[in-house]
Amino acid sequence: HAKISASVYTSHVPAIGAALDLGKSQEPYWQPVFAGYEASKTWMKENTPDVIFLVYNDHATAFSLEMIPTFAIGCAERFQPADEGWGPRPVPVVQGHPELAAHIAQSVIQQDFDLTIVNKMDVDHGLTVPLSLMCGQPQAWPCPVIPFAVNVVQYPAPSGHRCFELGKAIRRAIESYDTPLNVQIWGTGGMSHQLQGARAGLINPEFDNAFLDQLISDPQNLAKMPHIDYVREAGSEGIELVMWLIARGAMDDVAGGKAPRVAERFYHVPASNTAVGHLILENQP
Ligand code: DHB
Ligand code: FE
């Protein structure tokens, strides 16, 4: 059977993709950001999975205000990098895993989470920037990726609690797949940032670091945090952090006496308008 070996958590910022694509990663502003992912890129090479289940959000790129799925699973053979206004990023096409994706859709929907099935979709910075941070600039991404898009752009977004429970359902789905695949689950977006309105530019390192602490050691409790707390403490776009709870829900449970190992942890401000947070958790054999 397939199993989840590890989870990766990381912010996404379009300007990080642009810095890499335009060869600016060693400029003084960006150098500390990319330096923070060096050990993780090595870890990624040493721990390349068979498939990445990548939880992210679309930013009105593939979807729009005309159509807003709360949870959408990408079941296609491949996904093209999207044109977000400056042309598609010069990164590899994302190869999907239609067979595992279809199995997960079947299992998770039968566990009472209604997913939207997507058979054609371009993927924006929400998905490609985390891949770039973890893999650098390869000719091809190291393995197939199942994109899993969450609506955190238009209210109502799903609660942290629902995301955490969904993660558990995704784990059960993966563990019931009849092929011995090594699967990683990634939770992306966040950390604190607000791109709009009177509080544009808001960053809250105290909140972010407490979120990282709790995500590691008490995710069950963290999942109870209501939307209003995300928005007040982490800014309007800080709500992207609920996606990290999907990945955490799919990992071993501290309460069950099996705490995942913290392989990497990184936090850095500033990167564009966003606080960059990053964590790797490994399930213990
Ligand atoms: C920025 C952050 C985001 O999450 C995003 O989707 C777009 C822009 C930023 O920091 O500029
Ligand atoms: Fe975003």
Containing domain of residue 59, as a range? 3-282
pTM for this model (two decimals) = 0.98
Give the count of domains, the chain: 1
- At residue 285 the predicted structure's pLDDT band, cuts being 50, 70 and 90, is confident
How many Å lie between the centroid of ligand 2 and the Cα of residue 58?
A: 8
Rounded to whole angstroms, the Cα distance separating 201 from 159 reads 24
Q: Which residues pair with 150 in a beta bridge?
A: 71
Summarised one tens digit per residue, pLDDT across range 91-125 is: 999 999 999 999 999 999 999 999 999 999 999 99
Q: If we measure between CA atoms, which residue out of 64, 77, 71, 60 comes closest to residue 125?
A: 60
How many Å lie between the centroid of ligand 1 and the Cα of residue 232?
A: 18
Residue nearest to atom 4 of ligand 1 (CA): 13
The residue whose two tokens read 């923070």 is 36
Question: Are 241 and 150 contacting, i.e. CB atoms less than 8 angstroms apart?
Answer: no
What pLDDT score does 257 carry? 86
Integer angstrom CA distances of residue 148 from 53, 57, 127:
7, 8, 9
Q: What are φ and ψ of residue 212, in 5° steps?
A: -60, -45
Residues with CB under 6 A from ligand 1: 12-15, 59, 193, 195, 237, 272-274
Rounded to whole angstroms, the Cα distance separating 273 from 203 reads 8
The residue whose two tokens read 């776009």 is 237
Q: Which ligand is nearest to the CA of 150?
A: 2
Q: If we measure between CA atoms, which residue out of 133, 162, 108 comes closest to residue 43?
A: 133
Rounded to whole angstroms, the Cα distance separating 99 from 75 reads 8
Q: If we measure between CA atoms, which residue out of 230, 242, 160, 243 comes closest to residue 202?
A: 230
CATH code of the domain in which 267 resides: 3.40.830.10
Rounded to whole angstroms, the Cα distance separating 84 from 66 reads 17
Rounded to whole angstroms, the Cα distance separating 32 from 270 reads 10
What pLDDT score does 254 carry? 85
- At residue 243 the predicted structure's pLDDT band, cuts being 50, 70 and 90, is very high
- Run of H or E residues at 40: helix 38-46
What pLDDT score does 179 carry? 97
Atom number in ligand 1 closest to CA 237: 4
pLDDT greater than 90 at residue 255: no
How many Å lie between the centroid of ligand 2 and the Cα of residue 153?
A: 8
Atom number in ligand 1 closest to CA 240: 4
Summarised one tens digit per residue, pLDDT across range 179-189 is: 999 999 999 99
Residue nearest to atom 3 of ligand 1 (CA): 13
What pLDDT score does 41 carry? 98
Atom number in ligand 1 closest to CA 57: 6
Give the relative orientation of helices 98-110 and 160-175 as an angle to the nearest 10 degrees.
120
ipTM (interface pTM): 0.98
How many Å lie between the centroid of ligand 1 and the Cα of residue 140?
A: 25
Q: Which ligand is nearest to the CA of 56?
A: 2
Q: Which ligand is nearest to the CA of 15?
A: 1
In the sheet that holds 51-56, the strands lie side by side as 116-118, 71-74, 145-150, 51-56, 182-188, 3-10, 274-282, 261-271
> Looking at the annotation, which residues are catalytic?
125, 193
